[in-house]
Amino acid sequence: MRRFVLIALLTLFLAPGLAHAVTPDEMLKDPVLEARARNLSQELRCMVCQNQSIDDSEAPLAKDIRLLVRERLVQGDSDKQVLDFLVARYGEFVLLKPPFQVQTLLLWGLSPLALLIGIGALFLMARRRKTVIPETTALTPEEQRRLTGIAAADSPRPLIKP
Amino acid sequence: MIPELGHYALVLALALGLIQAVAPLIGAWRRDEALMRLATSTALMQFGFVALSFAALTECYVTSDFSVATVYENSHSMMPLLYKFTSVWGNHEGSMLLWVLILSLFGASVAAFGNNLPATLKANVLAVQSWIACSFYLFILLTSNPFLRLARPPFEGRDLNPILQDIGLAVHPPLLYLGYVGFSIAFSFAIAALIEGRIDAAWARWVRPWTLAAWMFLTVGIAMGSYWAYYELGWGGFWFWDPVENASLMPWLAGTALLHSAVVMEKRNALKVWTLLLAILAFSLSLIGTFLVRSGVLTSVHTFASDPTRGIFILVILVVFIGGGLTLFAWRAPLLKQGGLFAPISREGALVFNNLFLTTACLTVFVGTLYPLALEALSGEKISVGAPFFNLTFAPLFIPLLFAMPFGPLLAWKRGDIPGVAQRLMAAFGVGIVAVAVTFAAAGAGSVLAPFGIGLALYVMAGALTDLVERIGLFRAPLATSAKRAAGMPRSVWGTAVAHFGMAVTLLGIVCASTWGEERIVALKPTQVVSLAGYDLTFDGMAQRSGPNFRELAAKFTVRSGGGVIGVMDPSKRSFASRNSSTTEAALMSRGVSQLYLSLGDVNDDGSVAIRVYFKPLVLLIWLGAVVMMLGGALSLSDRRLRVGAPKPAAKSTKSTLQPAE
């Protein structure tokens, strides 16, 4: 919830006291495991917060999940197993990057689709313009003759001023 | 008395607004000079009355008049004067009043400086502007009146949310609103053009300065908000892809696209319909942002449903303006004549490319922000869309955009030549490739993407400089000639180069700070030392301090580098008795454009204290880049041809056709 400071508009919502997210006592001794835990934490949502990862959140629930993640990692789970475990427990709401599924089809697909449609539309428009405006062709002999005639008729006044 | 005066002034502004919403339209339709001129005076007076209303509310806050409900809820008599001042807009009601103040300011500016506009266009623009103003006056008066009195005035106020007791509140919201609301002018111009059924290159020239000004404010406003969040929230992040942030990013993306497509329209009379659409969209996204933030819908669809008055009101405004605008567009836009043909490979083509990617990026943010809301409302299913999603989808759209950036200004109008431009960009490519190689060598196998990010940033910088060097013929013509050309070059050319350079500066900051940042989370006892990035921080001890309306526990750290003391950092935790809440005040130490960031956690029973220390390399570039972008905008705005209130309608000036292409 603390994030609302950004636009200073949602002051109606009270911010809870600010403390630390990850605290020294919950960190793992093994730096490799700890790094994995931190990476996973950034992908997981603190469910009682507003769009905040458990890595950033100081809510007690976030701390519980952080500890849970570390517990699973110590027991030898892979990153995917940890995520699956949490999804089974808390639902997909816990993932900050929703998986590609039927319900999220538009979420993932709309922008690439729009880009493709945009490119396609531009391509078509460029082609159509080409056909509408034909390339300038050379004058036919008949036109050339008439033009010379007109120029000759105008002759006392030079066409191009010196 | 003062609050009633403010309330009454707002009602008067509404009355004037209603006149202005109708009279000029009739005037423009019947070619009635007097009715059209009326709009100028009502717009100026509207601003006068809203300013009076705002001043009245400010007076209530500054004198701590707790008989006014909003003052009681958001102010405290012990607060420093600055915060009494800023708490005027540190709440829903007051911020809406700031919103309409800025809206009426823009309306008044068009009235005052728009003398070069055709009379009918000006009248229509001011009328549309007044429709927007009236709907928001009504919103404030009916659902969010900041002047409501309490029957029994309490003795003391409930204080401003401690997080907002910061200089950031003085800077960020006004700047952001200047940007948000500034796009209303582009919207009004677009609607006016659709009403008249006529639009030409001159229209783009009139709209561009307003869009540019709004864009500048929005750019800096977003950057300031980001910096504020960075130092206030205590974990050193600068962008969270929070819906509230996204709400401000969407108009920025659309506005940036509009800025570029308006160039095509002004120079080549092409992309007219598209530019109109973008003008409508940019402000629509501002309205959507206001709705998202103001209605409470973000917290949960259910919060929104429990107290829907405000939300529904804004939703109606939203539907009327966006729906109405787009309907009018669909109906009238086909009547507009398309002009200015161009080959796909041309300056115009490059700007279309820019627009395609910017609008897709905008769509990505839009979908990501609203999808969870829509899904929950439709199926009750809850999903989260957060930073990992946006990082994955947004970056791939910005990379081609940034890569193409240096090409745009170097391509010729109508028909360009990519190999030719690529040849001129050789030096820039070289800089980029060397940067990638050097970073790879220096950083080792750490991150694969970061060196490319650095390379891209330096390539864009070099590309922006190439454009300038090419134009003034530096290294090819004698130095004196180059200097002369530089002095005579249109300011907008400088503006483009500077703004593009600024974008690259921001990118460089983002890449460096997020890749090579260091972090330590430790518990320290006094005299213990924590080291990172070549700095040693010694914990000297804790002390209690008291401020005007808070008490704080401050820790003192001595920072050493290479053996010598370079300074002291004192992060603290503040507790505010009035709200029974606390904030973390991080300590920052700038080393060039890099920063050491230190924030305080809990104090443990054994006397040790938990701290988080970060070293953020080049982090300040993120925001400095935005300032550079704004400077680019300002340079462009100062260009001769865009000067607001220039005496002659630029369209009729024969000189304009002789100006060098931008």
* Domain match, A75 and A129 both: no
Q: Based on the fold, state whether residues B299 and B364 are members of the same structural domain.
A: yes
**Does the beta-carbon distance from A91 to B382 stay under 8 Å?**
yes
A85 and A32 co-located in one domain: yes
DSSP letters, B593-631, are TEEEEEEEEEEPTTS-EEEEEEEETTTHHHHHHHHHHHH
Average pLDDT over residues B465-469: 92
Residue B489's identity, in one-letter code, is M
Q: Is residue B488 part of a domain?
A: yes
Query: Domain check: are A14 and A85 in the same one?
Result: yes
- Of the three residues B499, B516, B533, the one that is the final residue of a domain is B516
Number of independent structural domains in chain A: 2
Q: What contacts B306, CB < 8 A, 6 or more positions away?
A: none
Minimal CA separation from B385 to chain A, in Å: 5
- Condensed to tens digits (0 to 9), the pLDDT of residues B611-647 reads 989 999 999 999 999 999 999 999 999 887 665 444 4
Sequence-distant (6+) residues with CB within 8 A of B74 are: A11, B87, B90, B91, B94, B157, B158, B159, B160, B161
- pLDDT of amino acid B15: 97
- Is A128 a domain residue? yes
Whether the per-residue pLDDT at B307 is higher than 70: the answer is: no
pLDDT for the residue B487: 86
- For residue B149, being part of any structural domain is answered with yes
- Considering the domain architecture, whether residues A11 and A52 belong to the same structural domain is answered as yes
**Nearest residue to B188 (alpha-carbon basis) of B252, B126, B143, B248:** B126
Lowest mean per-residue pLDDT among A131-145, B65-79, B359-373? A131-145
pLDDT at position B485 over 90? no
- Contact residues, chain A, for B371 at CB < 8 Å: 104, 106-107
Final residue belonging to a domain, choices A68, A94, A120: A94
Share of chain B above pLDDT 70, in %: 94
| Domain C-terminal end among B384, B405, B439 | B384
Whether residue B126 lies inside any domain: the answer is yes
Distance from CA of B35 to the nearest CA of A (A): 39
* pLDDT score for A16: 35
Domain assignment present for residue B569? The answer is yes
Write out chain A residues lying below 8 Å of B573, CB-based.
18
- The average pLDDT across B530-554 equals 90
Based on the fold, state whether residues B153 and B247 are members of the same structural domain.
no
Q: Is residue B585 a part of any domain in this protein?
A: yes
Domain presence at residue A154: no
Residue B640 lies in a domain: no
A149 membership: H or E segment, kind and range: helix A141-153
Give A67 to chain B, closest Cα distance, Å. Answer: 16
Q: How many interchain CB pairs under 8 A, A with B?
A: 187
Element (H, E) at B561: strand B551-561
Rounded to the nearest 10 degrees, the angle between the axes of helix B2-30 and helix B33-62 is 160
Please, are residues B260 and B351 in contact by the beta-carbon 8 Å criterion?
A: yes
In a domain, A144, yes or no: no
Of A16 and B488, the structure prediction assigns the larger pLDDT to B488
Report the range out of A58-72, B145-159, B210-224, B309-323 with the highest average pLDDT. Answer: B210-224
**What's chain A's average pLDDT?**
76
pLDDT, position A136: 56
A47 and A111 part of one domain = no
Q: Kindly list the residues from chain A whose CB atom is less than 8 angstroms away from the CB atom of residue B233.
A: 2-3, 5, 18
B649 in a structural domain: no
Task: Give the pLDDT score at B303.
Answer: 57
The mean pLDDT of B81-103, rounded to a whole number, is 93
B251 and B367 part of one domain: yes
> A-chain residues within 8 Å CB-CB of B520?
none
- Are the CB atoms for B370 and B289 separated by under 8 Å? no
Owning domain of residue B363: 171-384
Instruction: Determine which of A73-82, A153-162, B195-204, B393-402 has the lowest per-residue pLDDT on average.
Output: A153-162
In a domain? residue B633: no
Q: Could you read off the pLDDT of B371-402 as tens digits, one per residue? A: 988 898 888 888 889 899 999 999 899 999 99
Question: Residue A19's domain is classified under what CATH number?
Answer: 1.10.8.640
Contacts of A14 in chain B (CB under 8 A): 161, 579, 581
In this prediction the pTM is: 0.89
> Do residues A88 and A12 share a domain?
yes
Q: What are the pLDDT digits (tens) for A43-81?
A: 899 888 777 888 888 788 888 899 999 999 999 889 999
Predicted local distance difference test score (pLDDT) of residue A6: 37
Round the average pLDDT of chain B to a whole number and report it. Answer: 89
pLDDT band per the 50, 70, 90 thresholds, residue B190: very high
Residue length, chain A? Answer: 162
Q: Which of B516, B532, B560 is the last residue of a domain?
A: B516
Give the range among A87-91, B377-381, B570-574, B652-656 with minimum mean pLDDT. B652-656
Torsion sign across C-alpha atoms B534, B540, B542, B546: negative
Answer whether residue A159 shows pLDDT above 50.
no
Return the SS3 of B584. Answer: strand
**B168 contacts on A by Cβ (under 8 Å):** 5, 8
Looking at residue B464, its amino acid is: A
Residue A13 has pLDDT above 70, yes or no: no
Domain end position, chosen among A38, A65, A94: A94
B603 and B491 in a common domain: no
Which residue in the set B386, B397, B581 is minimally distant from A53, CB to CB? B386
pLDDT score of B478 more than 80: yes
**pLDDT computed for residue A155 by the predictor:** 56
Contacts of A18 in chain B (CB under 8 A): 233-234, 573, 582-584
ipTM topping 0.85: no
What tokens appear for B343 in the block?
């080959």
Between residues B281 and A91, the one the model is more confident about: B281
Q: Is the pLDDT of residue B308 over 90?
A: no
The number of CA neighbours under 13 Å toward the Cβ of B294 is 28
Which among B61, B244, B602 is the top mutation candidate for probing chain A, defined by the most A β-carbons within 10 Å of its own β-carbon?
B244
pLDDT confidence bin for B659, thresholds 50/70/90: very low
Q: Report whether pLDDT(B24) > 80.
A: yes
Q: Are residues B322 and B187 in the same domain?
A: yes
Q: What percent of chain B has pLDDT over 90?
A: 58
**B161 & B183 share domain:** no
The answer on B271 and B153 residing in a single domain is no
Residues B322 and B135: their CA atoms lie apart, in Å, by 13
Tell me: do A66 and A128 sit in the same domain.
no
* Residue A157 within any structural domain of the chain: no
Q: Are residues A84 and A116 in the same domain?
A: no
Q: Do B506 and B552 share a domain, yes or no?
A: no
- Chain A residues whose CB is inside 8 A of the B95 CB are 8-9
Q: What is the pLDDT of residue B193?
A: 92
Asked whether the beta carbons of residue B356 and residue A115 sit closer than 8 angstroms, the reply is: yes
What are residue B537's DSSP bridge partners?
B530, B559
* Three-class HEC string of B164-180: HCCHHHHHHHHHHHHHH
Together in a domain, B14 and B111: yes
* DSSP symbols for B100-133: HHHHHHHHHHHHHHGGGS-HHHHHHHHHHHHHHH
Nearest CA-CA distance, residue B282 and chain A, Å? 18
Q: Is there a single domain that holds both residue A72 and residue A122?
A: no
Predicted confidence at residue B458, as pLDDT, reads: 96
Number of residues assigned to chain B: 662
* Closest partner CB to A9 (pick from B228, B235, B293): B293
Which pLDDT score, from 0 to 100, does residue A149 have? Answer: 79
Domain interval for residue A80: 2-94
Q: Note the pLDDT of residue B101.
A: 97
- Say how many domains are in chain B: 4
Cα radius of gyration rounded to whole Å, chain A: 34
Closest-CA distance of chain A to residue B2, Å: 25
The CATH number of the domain holding residue B136 is: 1.20.120
Give domain status of residue A148, yes or no.
Answer: no
Are A16 and A83 in a shared domain? yes
Taking residues B67-78, report their average pLDDT: 92
A141 occurs within a structural domain: no
**Does one domain contain both A20 and A50?**
yes
Say whether both B54 and B147 belong to one domain.
yes
Which of A12, A24, A114 lies closest to B92 in CB terms? A12
Of the candidate ranges B149-158, B299-308, B375-384, B534-543, the one whose mean pLDDT is the lowest: B299-308
- Asked if residue B604 and residue B492 are part of one domain, the reply reads no
Closest CA to B403 of B511, B498, B500, B516: B500
**A9 and A87 assigned to the same domain:** yes
**B156 and B118 share one domain:** yes
In a domain, A84, yes or no: yes
Report pLDDT for B312.
Answer: 87
From the CA of B521, how many Å to the nearest CA of chain A? 6
